[in-house]
């Protein structure tokens, strides 16, 4: 049915106009805020935590320079991106969010982490605090208990910077990758702009789950020019999200990327907030905020969170601030900025001005402020000594935290999709007399089963909705589940994967589609640096139950950019599982297992297999990820082939049989983790190995299979393994060239015979 969106313009003369973007509109102060509800305690907390962040960062400077006296000899390794000068942004923003709202952060994120954790603890229950301090506090003394919890929070933060087991991420992440899932901190990101889509995805999850949460995405000014910012802004602003996408993009504009300046140098705009006008009719509610005024930031973020909660997100805030130190401690700043400029900003120092305002309003005396400074110093000293004497991770635990060993096989019935939520009767696949259906229908059946079973499973990607996907492998699901669960995205491959990663960290189980695996190269940061790493880097604490479905093509004259077999681009990342089934039976069982797995899975379908048929039980079944299957038993040689190449190898095996050669054909089905045991057992028996794959020979996954098996079976093998691959060229278009390029049954047979010396 055609969409009901009218795309025919009226061609009338006119002009496009945009609502104005407010600049520095806040005109409150301590007195006015207190008159409208800010308590004295809250006001003092803001100063206390700004002082805590400042002292934390100054301690890193001292540690690095050998000037932290108790540890003068200590060698502080790791990055030193400090946020001295920017404290009002972190504190203003976090004081405005709810305890369970999400944030994502940046390489300059110590302040964000301290602020988020502290405010989450401020708002936590005594039971939670007792658990957080592992029984160290006294529930009868709430102030003491909170103090204890704040100290514990600072200890864990500092311990992470020291790379210790007690750190928030067990020393796997360090200062640039702190995450704290207790407090909704979904992780700092050392890839500039890397968290844009993660944040939009977490907000998508909050909106779909209806849990009322908002996600605030801290990004630097430099990050706003990275491609993912555009994709994420657009994703969050899509008109089809009738409930809005509750994400606040907070640009912490400290005036410099590393040394490049957004204003006047590397962009053409005065204010990055202006970009909001490009994404939706209300400019994403963009505004420019004085980031040196903690109350102005608090006001702006409170309003932004309110907009998000009332279904009007996303929001874009640009907070003007300044980093006093260099980009890192190795940057002396002299080549790109003047002392006068630094002094001008320091005159507006957020801590000094807020302390003065508190004193002037009679909220805190000078002595009280001095005392707060001392308390901050003492807390950070304790945290530093704690971190120093905390435990170094044991090298034998290096794999801990890489993959989750859990699934959603057993789920609470509350997650089942209620019948009333369906927009149409579920699809029944037509089976022939032998129970066979198409490979593409097995995809649909698996998706539908899992979506019925668990309403956290949603499906999105390019053209997957009304059109049913470029290869019709999602056909009908939009009609059954509606736009809430099945929707089209813009052509934004990086955002598709990044949002899926973020959504999976925030409670959804998204399945997303990339039309061709060739387009995976558009997503490398989101797949390789974010989805693959976010569990390990954050100490094994995150779960990312997401599935990226994609397809391999080839053999259709589509040439270099639509015919590649790029599975090795996914298998190279620890933290991902990769599946490439050849039969419809395996598609159904493995796709269901992938959706239930709590790890990110890349699920590779093959365009040539979509119309193959196979007996596929209509009942629910899963196939364990990581188990190969013997497709044909044999005794002379083992051939390993997956995806479409399985069929080329099968034909070769049949031809070989006519020449008296008995081939054992193994389909690994899962590439990562690879079932080396089954392949090795076969090779121990046959003593010969040929690996077949569609990708070119250099840097291919077949090299890994050959290596892993030879490493186990060297003594049993009579000849080295042979890889039958495409030529080392991009896929050509012309049929004679493409035919020459793809491994054919004849070519496979020739190699089998060579390996056997026949
Ligand atoms: C994708 C990417 N490109 C470059 C870098 C190197 N780098 C680290 S921080 C930084 C500057 C980032 O500027 P901004 O986003 O304004 O954040 P700020 O450092 O000012 O807090 C650069 C270029 C990186 N980490 N990631
Ligand atoms: Mg910057």
Rounded distance between C-alpha atoms, residue 464 and residue 441, angstroms: 14
Question: In angstroms, what is the span from residue 635 Cα to ligand 2's centroid?
Answer: 63
pLDDT recorded at residue 50: 98
Q: Are 599 and 575 in contact (CB under 8 A)?
A: yes
Rounded distance between C-alpha atoms, residue 391 and residue 167, angstroms: 9
Q: Which pairing describes strands 613-615 and 436-438: parallel, antiparallel, or unpaired?
A: antiparallel
- The angle formed by the CA atoms of residues 563, 566 and 569, to the nearest 5 degrees, is 155
Rounded distance between C-alpha atoms, residue 97 and residue 23, angstroms: 22
Q: Say if residue 128 is exposed, middle or buried (CB neighbours under 10 Å; 0-12, 13-18, 19+).
A: middle
Task: Say yes or no: CB of residue 110 within 6 Å of ligand 1.
Answer: no
pLDDT recorded at residue 396: 98
Residue 340: count other Cβ atoms within 10 Å of its Cβ: 7
Rounded distance between C-alpha atoms, residue 48 and residue 91, angstroms: 10
Low-confidence ranges of the chain (pLDDT < 50): none
CA 78 to chain centre: 23
Question: In angstroms, what is the span from residue 258 Cα to ligand 2's centroid?
Answer: 7
Task: Say yes or no: CB of residue 191 within 6 Å of ligand 1.
Answer: yes
DSSP-assigned letters across all residues of 541-578: ------EEEEEE--SSS--TTSS---HHHHHTSTT-EE
Task: Say yes or no: CB of residue 192 within 6 Å of ligand 1.
Answer: yes
CA distances to 303, 350, 431, 464, 608 from 468, rounded to whole Å, are 39, 54, 20, 5, 18
Residue with tokens 């990101």: 189
Q: Which ligand has the shortest distance to the CA of 110?
A: 1
User: What is the gyration radius of the CA atoms in the chain, in angstroms?
Assistant: 29
DSSP-H helix ranges across 162-262: 196-209, 227-236
Task: Say yes or no: CB of residue 256 within 6 Å of ligand 1.
Answer: yes
Task: Say yes or no: CB of residue 563 within 6 Å of ligand 1.
Answer: no
pLDDT recorded at residue 182: 86
Residues with Cβ within 8 Å of residue 65, at least 6 apart in sequence: none
- The residue whose CA is least distant from atom 22 of ligand 1 is 258
Task: Say yes or no: CB of residue 254 within 6 Å of ligand 1.
Answer: yes
DSSP-H helix ranges across 329-435: 339-347, 350-360, 366-389
Question: In angstroms, what is the span from residue 219 Cα to ligand 2's centroid?
Answer: 8
Pocket test for ligand 1, best of 258, 291, 494 (most atoms within 8 A of CB): 258
- Which residue of the set 110, 562, 606, 688 is catalytic? 562
Rounded distance between C-alpha atoms, residue 27 and residue 676, angstroms: 67
Task: Say yes or no: CB of residue 84 within 6 Å of ligand 1.
Answer: no
Looking from the CA of residue 86, the nearest atom of ligand 1 is 21
- The tally of CA atoms less than 13 A away on the side-chain side of residue 249 is 40
Ordered domains of the chain (ranges, CATH): 34-231+247-256+339-391 (3.40.50.970), 413-615 (3.40.50.970), 629-755 (3.40.50.920)
The dihedral over CA atoms of 442, 446, 451, 452, expressed in degrees to the nearest 10, equals 90
- The residue whose CA is least distant from atom 20 of ligand 1 is 257
Pocket test for ligand 1, best of 195, 249, 257 (most atoms within 8 A of CB): 257
Question: In angstroms, what is the span from residue 326 Cα to ligand 1's centroid?
Answer: 12
Q: Say if residue 27 is exposed, middle or buried (CB neighbours under 10 Å; 0-12, 13-18, 19+).
A: exposed
Q: Are 132 and 149 in contact (CB under 8 A)?
A: yes
What would the two tokens of residue 511 be?
A: 């399945």
pLDDT recorded at residue 474: 98
CA distances to 102, 205, 421, 485, 547 from 244, rounded to whole Å, are 16, 12, 20, 15, 24
Task: Say yes or no: CB of residue 190 within 6 Å of ligand 1.
Answer: yes
Q: Are 554 and 560 in contact (CB under 8 A)?
A: no
Task: Say yes or no: CB of residue 107 within 6 Å of ligand 1.
Answer: yes
Please report the beta strands in 601-656, taking only residues with DSSP state E, as ranges in sequence order.
601-606, 613-615, 629-632, 637-641
User: E strand or H helix at 218, and its extent?
Assistant: strand 215-220
Question: 511 pairs with which residues across the strands?
Answer: 459, 547
Rounded distance between C-alpha atoms, residue 480 and residue 482, angstroms: 6
CA distances to 59, 165, 717 from 385, rounded to whole Å, are 11, 15, 57
Looking from the CA of residue 257, the nearest atom of ligand 1 is 13
Q: Are 61 and 330 in contact (CB under 8 A)?
A: no
Question: In angstroms, what is the span from residue 221 Cα to ligand 2's centroid?
Answer: 5
In the annotation, is 562 catalytic?
A: yes
DSSP-assigned letters across all residues of 668-708: -SEEETT-HHHHHHHHHHH--EEEEEEEESTT-HHHHHHHH
Q: Are 181 and 171 in contact (CB under 8 A)?
A: no
pLDDT recorded at residue 89: 98
């Amino acid at each position: 049915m055609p969409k009901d969106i009218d795309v025919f313009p009226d061609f009338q003369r006119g002009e496009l106009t945009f609502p104005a973007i407010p600049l520095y509109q806040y005109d409150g102060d301590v007195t006015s805020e207190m008159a409208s509800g800010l308590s004295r305690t809250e006001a003092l907390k803001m100063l206390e935590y700004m002082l805590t962040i400042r002292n934390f960062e100054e301690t890193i400077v001292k540690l690095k320079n050998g000037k932290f006296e108790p540890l003068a000899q200590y060698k502080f390794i790791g990055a030193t991106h400090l946020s001295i000068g920017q404290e009002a942004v972190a504190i203003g923003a976090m004081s405005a969010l709810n305890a369970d709202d999400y944030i994502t952060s940046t390489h300059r994120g110590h302040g964000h982490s301290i602020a988020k954790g502290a405010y989450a603890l401020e708002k936590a229950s005594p039971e939670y605090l007792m658990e957080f301090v592992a029984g160290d506090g006294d529930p009868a003394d709430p102030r003491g208990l909170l103090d204890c919890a704040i100290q514990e929070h600072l200890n864990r933060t500092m311990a992470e910077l020291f790379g210790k087991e007690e750190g928030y991420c067990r020393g796997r992440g360090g200062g640039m990758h702190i995450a704290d899932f207790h407090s909704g901190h979904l992780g700092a990101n050392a890839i500039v702009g890397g968290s844009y889509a993660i944040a939009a995805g977490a907000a998508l999850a909050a909106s779909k789950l209806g849990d009322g949460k908002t996600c605030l995405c801290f990004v630097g000014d430099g990050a706003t020019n990275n491609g993912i910012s555009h994709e994420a802004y657009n994703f969050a602003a899509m008109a089809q999200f009738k409930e809005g996408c509750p994400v606040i993009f907070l640009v912490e504009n400290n005036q410099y990327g590393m040394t490049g300046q957004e204003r006047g140098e590397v962009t053409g705009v005065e204010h990055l907030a202006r970009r909001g006008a490009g994404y939706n009719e209300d400019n994403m509610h963009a505004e420019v905020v004085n980031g040196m005024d903690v109350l102005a930031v608090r006001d702006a973020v409170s309003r932004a969170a309110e907009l998000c909660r009332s279904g009007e997100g996303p929001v874009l805030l640009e907070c003007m601030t300044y980093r006093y130190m260099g980009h890192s401690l190795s940057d002396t700043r002299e080549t790109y900025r003047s002392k006068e400029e630094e002094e001008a900003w320091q005159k507006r120092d957020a801590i000094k001005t807020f302390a003065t305002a508190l004193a002037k309003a009679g909220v805190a005396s000078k002595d009280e402020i001095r005392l707060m400074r001392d308390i901050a110093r003492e807390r950070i000293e304790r945290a530093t000594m704690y971190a120093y004497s905390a435990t170094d991770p044991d090298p034998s635990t290096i794999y801990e935290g890489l993959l989750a060993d859990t699934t959603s096989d057993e789920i609470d019935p509350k997650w089942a999709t209620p019948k009333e939520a369906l927009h149409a009767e579920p699809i029944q696949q037509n089976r022939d007399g032998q129970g066979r259906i198409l490979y593409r229908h097995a995809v649909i059946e698996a998706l539908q089963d899992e979506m019925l079973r668990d309403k956290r499973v949603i499906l999105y990607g390019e053209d997957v909705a009304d059109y049913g996907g470029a290869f019709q492998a999602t056909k009908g699901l939009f009609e059954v589940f509606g736009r809430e669960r099945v929707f089209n995205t813009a052509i934004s491959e990086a955002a598709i994967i990044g949002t899926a990663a973020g959504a999976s960290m925030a409670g959804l189980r998204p399945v997303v589609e990339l039309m061709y695996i060739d387009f995976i190269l558009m997503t490398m940061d989101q797949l390789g640096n974010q989805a693959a790493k976010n569990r390990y880097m954050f100490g094994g604490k995150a779960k990312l139950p997401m599935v990226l479905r994609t397809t391999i093509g080839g053999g259709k004259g589509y040439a270099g950019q639509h015919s590649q077999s790029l599975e090795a681009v996914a298998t190279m990342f620890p933290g991902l599982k990769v599946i490439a089934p050849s039969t419809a039976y395996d598609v159904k069982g493995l796709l269901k297992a992938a959706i239930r797995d709590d790890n990110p899975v890349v699920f590779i379908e093959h365009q040539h297999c979509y119309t193959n048929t196979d007996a596929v039980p209509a009942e629910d079944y899963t196939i364990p990820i990581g188990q190969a299957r013997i497709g044909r038993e044999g005794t002379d040689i083992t051939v390993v082939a997956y995806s479409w190449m399985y069929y080329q190898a099968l034909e070769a095996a049949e031809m070989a049989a006519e020449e008296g050669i008995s081939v054992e054909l193994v389909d690994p089905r899962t590439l990562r983790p690879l079932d080396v045991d089954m392949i090795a057992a076969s090779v121990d028996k046959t003593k010969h190995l040929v690996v077949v794959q569609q990708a070119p020979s250099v840097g291919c996954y077949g090299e890994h299979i050959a290596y892993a098996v030879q490493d186990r079976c060297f003594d049993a093998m009579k000849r080295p393994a042979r890889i039958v691959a495409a030529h080392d060229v991009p896929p050509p278009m012309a049929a004679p060239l493409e035919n020459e390029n793809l491994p054919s049954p004849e070519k496979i047979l020739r190699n089998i015979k060579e390996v056997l010396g026949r």
